[in-house]
Amino acid sequence: MHPILKLVIQRVALGLLLMLAVSAVIFLGVEALPGDTAQQILGQSATPQALENLRAQLGLNDPPLVRYFNWLGGVVTGDLGKSLTNGTDIAQAIGQRLGNTLFLAVTAAIISVPLALILGIVAARYAGRWPDKVISGITLSTISLPEFVAAYFVIFLLTQVFPVFQPVAMVFPGMSLWAKLNAVALPVIVLVLVVLAHMMRMTRAAILNVMQSAYVETAELKGLRPITIIWKHAFPNAIAPIVSVVVLNLAYLVVGVVVVEVVFGYNALGQYLVDHVTKRDLPVVQAVGLVFAAVYIGLNILADVVAILANPRLRHPK
């Protein structure tokens, strides 16, 4: 078997084992949530008999281990169950909202990834000088702000001081692409501010590390321009750690947007999760948590595979 294929199979197998462990953690975490699901559904005026009947109907009286394997069996077959609060199919509801989450994440990635690479290259080119200090200072300032603080600052700046956008990101089926982009402009700006610094600083650090190599010194002695040396010689050899950080930040854009979606009222997976946590709708919370975990683990596996393909020492470990 080819070494690369063997490494990929190993990563995928580890990812599946990790997903199994994460599913158990999600189930136990949801089970530990305070409150009574039947009471939450029927309200405070429900009689004890009605509560007991609903618990039996929903299977809440079964042992936790039985409920876990029943849920896991449904997940394996693609059945995520039905919402306890409104009876809707969870898989269908997640599919509708996952598209909005991915649209927001992809839009932010299209802006943040090229911008981070360009800023990282410029910072490496002028390392220790004022462009590097300005870029590093601004990006570190933005990453130091919690997401909700950055979100409210952007809302105040671009809806009150400069009334350019709407404070609520509402997306509906049938909207044109331009209308959707205009609706998600504010959350996209916040996400770009949050993930930009990680990718920029890794690009800068990786390029500066490669710039100390002997072949870069040879290129400098040949009289090549610094930006040419960085772009043609340093950047291609620094791509492995950069790609790893970029992919991990893409995972964050999908998984870590819950706060941003709630602040802007964006009808996507994060908002769906928060709404059903308050209702103690356990199947929905478990399903969304598993989807987030699958996305994060899958993109981590992709980062590992890309790092292996980009690094000859990992492609040929012997």
DSSP 142-196: HHHS-HHHHHHHHHHIIIIIS--S-SS----TT--HHHHHHHTHHHHHHHHHHHH
Residue 309 is predicted with a pLDDT of: 74
Residue 310 scores a pLDDT above 80: no
Q: Can you read off the two tokens belonging to residue 100?
A: 């909005």
pTM for the full predicted model: 0.80
Residue 115 is predicted with a pLDDT of: 92
| 180 against 7, higher pLDDT | 180
Q: Say if residues 34 and 47 touch (Cβ distance below 8 Å).
A: no
Percent of the chain with pLDDT over 90: 2
Q: Which CATH class is domain 90-280?
A: mainly alpha
Range 206-212 average pLDDT: 84
How many secondary structure helices (H) and strands (E) does the chain include? 17, 0
Range 119-125 average pLDDT: 88
Per-residue pLDDT band for 6 (boundaries 50, 70, 90) equals: confident
Question: Which residue from 202, 231, 208, 233 is spatially nearest to 219, judged by alpha carbons?
Answer: 233
Residue 308 scores a pLDDT above 80: no
HEC string of 100-119? HHHHHHHHHHHHHHHHHHHH
Domain boundaries defined on the chain: 90-280
Separation in Å, CA 40 to CA 28, 51, 72, 154, 272: 19, 10, 24, 36, 17
Lowest-pLDDT range, 191-195, 254-258, 289-293?
254-258
Percent of the chain with pLDDT over 70: 92
Residue 315 is predicted with a pLDDT of: 61
Residue 318 scores a pLDDT above 60: no
Average pLDDT, the chain: 82
Range 121-146 average pLDDT: 86
Residue 90 is predicted with a pLDDT of: 86
Residue 111 is predicted with a pLDDT of: 92
How many Å apart are CA 38 and CA 26, to the nearest integer? Answer: 20
Residue 36 scores a pLDDT above 70: no
- What pLDDT digit, counting tens, does each position of 55-113 carry? 777 677 778 788 888 888 888 887 888 887 777 888 888 888 888 888 888 899 999 99
Residue 312 is predicted with a pLDDT of: 62
How many Å apart are CA 271 and CA 261, to the nearest integer? Answer: 6
Residue 316 is predicted with a pLDDT of: 61
How many Å apart are CA 195 and CA 189, to the nearest integer? Answer: 10
